[in-house]
Amino acid sequence: MVDSQYYLPNDIGISALDCREAFRLLSPKEQMYAHYLSRASWYGGLIVLIQTSPESANIYVLLQKMFRAQAPQQLEAAATAAGLSAEEYQAFLVYAAGLYANMGNYKSFGDTKFVPNLPKEKFKALVWESLAFKQNPSDMEALWGSCCEPLYSLEDRQKQLGLGEKGITAYFSGNCRLEDAEFAQKFLDSKNLSAYNTRLFKTEIDGKRCYEVRLASAEKDNCAVEGKSEVCCGKHDFEDAVFLVKRGDYAFLMEKVCQNLEKAKAYAANENQKKMLEEYIRSFSCGSVDAHKEGYIGFIESYRDPFGSRGEFEGFVAVVNKAMSARFAELVSSAEVLLPELPWPPAFEKDRFLKPDFTSLDVLTFAGSGIPAGINIPNYDDIRQTEGFKNVSLGNVLAVAYATQKDKLTFLEENDKDLYIKWKGPSFEDDKGKFNFDQAAVRNPETGELISSWYKGSETWDSKFSTIASSYEECRAECVGLYLCLNKQVLSIFGHEGEDAEEVVYVNWLNMVRAGLLGLEFYTPESKSWRQAHMQARFVILRVLLEAGEGLVGLKECTGADGRPDAVITLDRSKIHTVHKSTADVEGGRALYEGYSAVTADGPHNFLRLRETVLLRKEARKMFVQANTYIKDDAVELVEYEGSAAGLIQSFTERFQDDAEEVETQLLEMTCVDSSCWC
């Protein structure tokens, strides 16, 4: 039997993402604009297949060919003929839905590989019995041969995403190690070149290291690009190695993105919107990160790069929820009063406070490896410093993701479960050589000593803190949320007063300590590494709150009603307000964070044993089914699907109807060209 953490259960939650009302409220012109942005996003989202694992695109194409020839209901007869039971066929559908939802065969949340929960010979028998195989047996047999081994392989290195011997990644060739990533970052910094839209491939020529840095772009040859990146394409000698910077990674898909953005320009609401689209096109055509700083879709989050610097493609289209956005706007208008309440000196804040745009959106399209509940963008620190940033809450995602069944609510006392279900949702929405600080005055708030380290030149948060940057930042964000939810003014903005406000505070903190325990699912003892930035952050917060003592947080192992190992976590609400505590110092920061991140059997809590209990009682993360848009009679039509594995599959097989064969051929070619890099 395969360990249950490596397959998706047949009863996994799959829900349709409701956006009909939000879409209906758009004008015909806005609907056309949304349609073409959605098309651009969906084509770009296919890039994630290439970024995730060497086999993801091949598996995707195999499934697409099967389901384009026969819808899930029709393929069921072939499954029966191939000897699959009803449960095995459902497992096949769930696997396919999971691959589409995660844009690859590794979970977007946790980076763990998942394999089909049916025997390999049964999967093969279904492929051979399918109409797609009967129509084109040689191609289908070749496809199966290209992916059948990694499809099921659970060798240690292939169990999770990672760099070198720690896992699989397609951001780097298979022979790259951490020292290669660090060396390449040093080169990129020397050229003021961002890693966000790159991949790294290592070879050796005449005994000399040679690195190919590929920029994602529609253009394959050098083209004029405004900004610093213009000078970087070509060959560079750097220390004892050679770097070759070239454009053209994912060229076919990047061209499809640009074509649809060009069409969207005709429906832009104003010149500012049109200018944004032009900058997107410039960025995606030639690989310019400077141009990308004018927009928000593209290579964004760096969670899945083992080194923490390269962005995964994501594109989203959403409609403003005006009622909830009004509350967020009030929160933002209070920010200048609230920020001084945070437990650090003003010197550690931005040079100049720029009010962020905080909006609640209903998602129409979110293309990538998964859909978050909220976003803070952009990640470029220079833009955050000078232009500000956007906080986005995705309302229709929250409505589905935070629906909780009591019988599936683990690790809480019975009297906490009803409160948790009632308040979980509401509690969530809650280089010029000059120094920009006084070196003789700014002190470390913990030690009282003068600051001795800072960001230099082209260094950024991601490049400086690299492997722990994402998790450290998520920890900071979660802690700020916990801290500010104690503020009555913040609670009042969202309509919470008196006893209700206290319940929201309690459940917000309870949710965090429970999430810290659940986070153990995303820790790999063999490599002593974390696979998910948010969950590592929440575990660190749990450790700190347990260490605070005075009975604030309790964690007790026990035996459940079913006779199996269990645990109960408690929070003393009376002590929340009194017990909690509140630099580019990579060395000190890393030591502190990694200390709290350690999962051991020592001390008052055996976290390694608790991890086994968490795995025993884990619930699979929900998947979302998204709508498609089509142009019919010069108007945009929204097509929605049922919230099931079959509905999710159907949404993807209908998503690329016009050019499915061309898209699939190009995906296979992109994969084939680089296949030797992971042998």
- What is the spatial distance between Cα 250 and Cα 247, in angstroms, rounded to a whole number? 9
Comparing 389 with 522, which gets the higher pLDDT? 522
- Residue, of 313 and 430, whose pLDDT is higher: 313
Classify residue 600 as exposed, middle or buried by CB count within 10 Å of its CB (0-12, 13-18, 19+). exposed
Q: What is the pLDDT of residue 373?
A: 80
Question: Which residues have a Cβ under 8 Å from the Cβ of 662 and sit 6 or more positions away?
Answer: none
- Look at residue 611 and tell me whether its pLDDT is greater than 50: yes
Give pLDDT, residue 231: 47
Residue 594 pLDDT > 90, yes or no? Answer: no
Of 2, 12, 4, the C-alpha closest to 620 is 12
Range 76-85 average pLDDT: 97
Burial label for 235, CB within 10 Å (0-12, 13-18, 19+), is: exposed
**Residues shown for the chain:** 679
Going by C-alpha positions, the residue among 524, 465, 428 that lies closest to residue 302 is 465
Residue 393: what pLDDT?
Answer: 73
| pLDDT tens digits along 105-117 | 999 988 999 999 9
Which tokens sit at 546?
Answer: 């347990």
Residue 192 has pLDDT above 70, yes or no: yes
Q: What's the whole-number mean pLDDT along residues 592-615?
A: 89
- Look at residue 319 in the predicted model and tell me its pLDDT: 84
Range with the poorest average pLDDT among 309-318, 554-563, 583-592: 583-592
Residues 6+ apart with CB under 8 A from 72: 93, 645, 646, 649, 650
* pLDDT at residue 443 tops 90: no
Classify 15 as helix, strand or coil: strand
Mean pLDDT (the chain) is 84
- Specify the pLDDT at position 596: 85
pLDDT reading at 438 higher than 70: no
d(CA 264, CA 273): 10
* pLDDT band per the 50, 70, 90 thresholds, residue 576: confident
Please write down the long-range contacts of 219-223, taking CB distance under 8 Å and 24 or more positions apart: 219/247, 219/248, 219/251, 219/285, 219/286, 219/287, 220/247, 220/248, 220/251, 221/247, 221/248, 222/247, 223/247, 223/285, 223/286
pLDDT at residue number 582 = 41
State the DSSP string of 135-179. Answer: H-HHHHHHHHHHHHHHHH---GGGGBB-SGGG-B-SSB-TT--HH
Cβ-contact 147, 141 below 8 angstroms: no
- Looking at 14-18, 236-240, 464-468, which range is the least confident one? 464-468
pLDDT tens, 45-72?
999 999 999 999 999 999 999 999 999 9
Indicate the pLDDT class of residue 400, thresholds 50, 70 and 90. Answer: confident
Task: Indicate if the pLDDT at residue 352 is higher than 60.
Answer: no
More confident residue, 18 or 458: 18
Q: How confident is the model at residue 437, as a pLDDT?
A: 44
pLDDT given at position 161: 94
363 DSSP β-pair partners: 318
Percentage of the chain modeled with pLDDT above 70 = 80
Give the mean model confidence (pLDDT) for residues 99-106: 97
Comparison of pLDDT for 246 and 398, the residue scoring more: 246
Alpha helices in 70-119 (DSSP H): 72-81, 86-102
Reported confidence tier of residue 341, pLDDT bands at 50, 70, 90 = low
pLDDT the model gives residue 435:
43
Give dist(CA 621, CA 539) in Å, integer.
18
pLDDT score, position 499: 86
Residue 445 has pLDDT above 60, yes or no: no
For residues 593 and 366, is the Cβ–Cβ distance under 8 A?
no
With vertex at residue 87, the alpha carbon angle to CA 82 and CA 90, rounded to the nearest 5 degrees, is 85
- Tell me the two tokens of residue 277: 């689209």
Task: Find the helix or strand (DSSP H, E) in which 629 lies.
Answer: strand 628-632
Region 381-391: mean pLDDT is: 58
| pLDDT exceeds cutoff 60 at 39 | yes
Q: Say yes or no to pLDDT of 154 above 90.
A: yes
Q: Is the pLDDT of residue 672 over 60?
A: yes
Q: What is the pLDDT of residues 250-303, one digit of tens each?
A: 999 999 999 999 999 999 999 999 999 999 999 999 988 887 766 667 888 888
Inform me whether the pLDDT recorded for 102 exceeds 60. Answer: yes
The count of C-alpha atoms lying within 13 angstroms of the C-alpha of 520, restricted to the half-sphere facing its C-beta, is 26
Confidence of residue 136 (pLDDT cuts 50, 70, 90): very high
Query: In the prediction, which pLDDT does 224 show?
Result: 56
Q: For residue 498, is pLDDT > 50?
A: yes
pLDDT at 434 over 50: no
Say if CB 567 and CB 615 are below 8 A apart. Answer: no
pLDDT of residue 339: 63
